[in-house]
């Protein structure tokens, strides 16, 4: 036996992370609500799982990709690294609640994965971690 739940799979991981974010942000049960950093990291892991899971989960990366393409159309010449850096600045410096941090974590992961360099390396590491957990 390699894990508590057996072979979770990437789709199972995407479902579990989605549920964790949906119910964990508000809390109310025996465990305290998720904090800022866990929401960011879990959002990035969820974005990675969505991209890897495909199927219905592919809608999220496709929607984010379309929105980023629109942004690049509005501001011609803006690169994916610039979008990723802008999202990082917003995440770190704007007062956001944990739900907003989780959503921006998903969007940031998608932008970071297309940015290359350090951003791409970080995104690849998160994607690999998601695959290993699954």
Handedness of CA 82, 119, 127, 105 (dihedral sign): negative
Nearest one of 117, 124, 120 to 48, comparing CA atoms: 124
Of 68 and 40, which is predicted with more confidence? 40
pLDDT tens for each residue of 7-46: 777 888 888 998 999 999 987 888 899 999 999 999 888 8
What does DSSP assign to residue 55?
Answer: G
| Residues 134 and 10: beta-carbon distance below 8 Å | yes
Instruction: Provide the token pair at 7.
Output: 């072979």
| pLDDT value at residue 93 | 96
Q: Report the predicted TM-score, pTM, of the whole model to 2 decimal places.
A: 0.77
| Residues 119 and 89: beta-carbon distance below 8 Å | no
> Binning pLDDT at 50, 70 and 90, where does residue 1 land?
very low
């Amino acid at each position: 036996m390699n894990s508590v739940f057996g072979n979770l799979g990437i789709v199972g991981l995407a479902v579990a992370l989605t549920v964790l974010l949906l119910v964990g942000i508000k809390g109310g049960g025996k465990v305290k609500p998720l904090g800022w950093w866990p929401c960011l990291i879990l959002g990035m892991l969820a974005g990675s799982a969505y991209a890897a899971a495909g199927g219905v989960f592919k809608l999220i990366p496709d929607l984010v990709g379309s929105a980023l393409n629109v942004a690049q159309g509005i501001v011609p010449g803006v690169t994916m690294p610039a979008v990723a850096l802008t999202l990082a600045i917003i995440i770190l410096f704007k007062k956001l609640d944990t739900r907003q941090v989780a959503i921006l974590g998903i969007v940031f992961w998608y932008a970071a994965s297309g940015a290359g360099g350090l951003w791409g390396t970080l995104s690849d590491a998160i994607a690999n971690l998601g695959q290993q957990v699954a």
